[in-house]
Chains A and B, each alone.
Chain A
């Protein structure tokens, strides 16, 4: 009847798979060119700059003697609060905006997509570190110029490593909570409870009970990260950081990845 028979099978054996580099590039782009992602990045940049300006005018006006790390600490406040939200939304927006359907159709190997997302938030952490280190340096130099005092740099290289760890931990914890709940409001609220409320409760418990005070560093990830913020971490602090990190970062992430692999995409 017909002149040509239509092939009944689609031969994709010669088609190359989506390279991982492209997945990472796509995920990076998704973080910046959606309305939520763009505004979050703008808000982080604006708040960080605002904090730096406030801090600089305070130390100059009050004739204080800040070191380089004080400027890094100041900027860690806005970044530490908002970067994890970006981590949460990098996962949950696929569900809330229903793009998961398209994403996982184009790349059905879900673990590769999750890995690409994780790499993209690591790259954003590096970017945040570069911006933070440069702005901190600018603040410190401006302080020296305006006050005429000697500028104290400390061990700048060590600080950079510590703050990179801080940003990575923050974003990765947000990412893990996002993967666990697959829902933006739930992920964000639980993350904020974990980072603002839990330390208060742990602090009260530690003040009241001696045995809890010695246990706290091992189970309170926020507490064990404080050694990174003021760069005093040493010896056993690293072990505490690792143990509490397993509890709050590795376990939620593992459960979350397992959940994404099995979740209904709707």
Chain B
């Protein structure tokens, strides 16, 4: 009947897969050009900048001693509170905004998408830290201009400790997000983990038996030790065990869940 038969198969054998760098680029863009992401980045930088400006005004007015490292630390402390939320939303927004359907249709290998998201989270952490260095530099130059002399002391050990702490904070949020796949739930659980749990563990550690267990399950205290390099053998062991508990297990269950979750 018909003149030409339509091909019933689509030959994609010659089509190359989506390169990982493109996935990374797309995920990076998603973190910044959505309303939630843009505001979060704006608020993070705005608040951190404000904190440094206030610190600068206060130390100049009060004639306090301040170093380059202190300015960097002030900026980084404020930004570290909101940064993990960005990591959380990288994952959960796919579900809350129902974009998972499109994302996983265009790249059905879900693990590659999740890995791209995780790398974006780590990359954003490094960007914020780099920005903290620049802002700290400017603040310290201004401080030097007002006070006559500036102190360029910068604790490298503390800096690396901070770098690792920030990365762990971001990954901790990321892991919980994979586990719960729900923005409000993850944010609440993350803040409880970050701000309430340390107090509870400290309270429980008043008991003799629990004070021996606490270092093995308290990931945040174990990370805190990283500010004072080098670590002893038992400190490394505490870090590994508590990190396994809070980072590796939630991430493993979360990844397994994403691989099998119904995309709706």
Give chain A's interface residues, CB within 8 Å of chain B: 36, 39-40, 47, 51, 54-55, 57-58, 61-62, 74, 77-78, 81-82, 85, 89, 96, 183-186, 188-189, 192-193, 196-197, 201, 205, 208-209
Q: Given contacts A58-B204, A189-B187, are A196 and B195 in contact (CB under 8 A)?
A: yes
Q: Given contacts A51-B200, A193-B82, A205-B54, are A185 and B207 in contact (CB under 8 A)?
A: no
Contact A186 B36 (CB under 8 A): yes
Contact A185 B89 (CB under 8 A): yes
Q: How would residues 169 to 207 of chain B score, 1 for a CB under 8 Å from any chain A CB and 0 otherwise?
A: 000000000000011110110011001100110011011
Contact B36 A185 (CB under 8 A): yes
Contact B188 A85 (CB under 8 A): yes
List of B residues within 8 angstroms of A201 by Cβ? 51, 78
Contact B81 A54 (CB under 8 A): no
Give chain B's interface residues, CB within 8 Å of chain A: 36, 39-40, 47, 51, 54, 58, 61-62, 64, 78, 81-82, 85, 89, 96, 182-185, 187-188, 191-192, 195-196, 199-200, 203-204, 206-208
Q: Given contacts A62-B207, A81-B196, are A188 and B78 in contact (CB under 8 A)?
A: no
List of B residues within 8 angstroms of A40 by Cβ? 188
Q: Complex: how many Å from CA A139 to CA B206?
A: 18
Q: Complex: how many Å from CA A89 to CA B191?
A: 16
Contact B64 A58 (CB under 8 A): no
- Provide 28 A-B residue pairs closer than 8 Å at the C-beta atoms, listed in order of the A residue: A36-B185, A54-B203, A57-B207, A58-B206, A58-B207, A74-B203, A77-B199, A81-B195, A82-B188, A82-B192, A85-B184, A89-B184, A96-B96, A184-B184, A185-B85, A185-B89, A186-B36, A186-B39, A188-B184, A188-B187, A192-B195, A196-B81, A196-B191, A197-B81, A208-B64, A209-B58, A209-B61, A209-B62
Least CB separation from B81: chain A residue: A197
Contact B208 A61 (CB under 8 A): yes
Describe A's contact surface by its main secondary structure. Answer: helix
Q: Given contacts A77-B196, A201-B51, A208-B58, are A189 and B82 in contact (CB under 8 A)?
A: yes
Which 4 A-B residue pairings sit nearest by Cβ, starting from the closest?
Answer: A184-B184, A61-B207, A192-B191, A58-B206
Q: Complex: how many Å from CA A183 to CA B36?
A: 10
List of A residues within 8 angstroms of B187 by Cβ? 185, 188-189, 192
Most buried by B among A36, A188, A209: A188
Q: Complex: how many Å from CA A158 to CA B185?
A: 35
Q: Complex: how many Å from CA A82 to CA B200?
A: 15
List of B residues within 8 angstroms of A74 by Cβ? 203
Contact B204 A54 (CB under 8 A): yes
Q: Complex: how many Å from CA A51 to CA B197?
A: 11
Taking the closest CB of chain A, its distance from the CB of B262, in whole angstroms, is: 15
Q: Complex: how many Å from CA A61 to CA B89?
A: 42
Q: Complex: how many Å from CA A81 to CA B188?
A: 9
Least CB separation from A55: chain B residue: B203
Taking a contact as CB atoms closer than 8 A, the residue among B81, B185, B196 that contacts A78 in the complex is: B196
Taking a contact as CB atoms closer than 8 A, the residue among B185, B195, B203 that contacts A58 in the complex is: B203
List of B residues within 8 angstroms of A185 by Cβ? 36, 85, 89, 183-184, 187
Q: Complex: how many Å from CA A96 to CA B95?
A: 13
Q: Complex: how many Å from CA A82 to CA B191?
A: 10
Least CB separation from A40: chain B residue: B188
Q: Given contacts A54-B200, A62-B207, A209-B62, are A184 and B54 in contact (CB under 8 A)?
A: no
Contact A36 B39 (CB under 8 A): no
Taking a contact as CB atoms closer than 8 A, the residue among B40, B192, B204, B208 that contacts A81 in the complex is: B192
Least CB separation from B184: chain A residue: A184
Contact A39 B195 (CB under 8 A): no
Q: Complex: how many Å from CA A201 to CA B199?
A: 19
6 additional contacts (CB under 8 A) given A81-B196, A189-B40, A189-B187: A55-B203, A89-B184, A185-B85, A186-B36, A192-B191, A209-B62
Q: Complex: how many Å from CA A58 to CA B61?
A: 46
Q: Given contacts A54-B204, A193-B82, are A184 and B183 in contact (CB under 8 A)?
A: yes
Taking the closest CB of chain B, its distance from the CB of A71, in whole angstroms, is: 13
Q: Complex: how many Å from CA A61 to CA B208?
A: 8
Q: Complex: how many Å from CA A57 to CA B210?
A: 11
List of A residues within 8 angstroms of B200 by Cβ? 51, 54, 77
Q: Complex: how many Å from CA A186 to CA B39?
A: 9
List of B residues within 8 angstroms of A89 by Cβ? 184
Taking the closest CB of chain B, its distance from the CB of A189, in whole angstroms, is: 6
Q: Complex: how many Å from CA A47 to CA B148?
A: 53
Taking the closest CB of chain B, its distance from the CB of A187, in whole angstroms, is: 9
Taking the closest CB of chain A, its distance from the CB of B194, in whole angstroms, is: 8
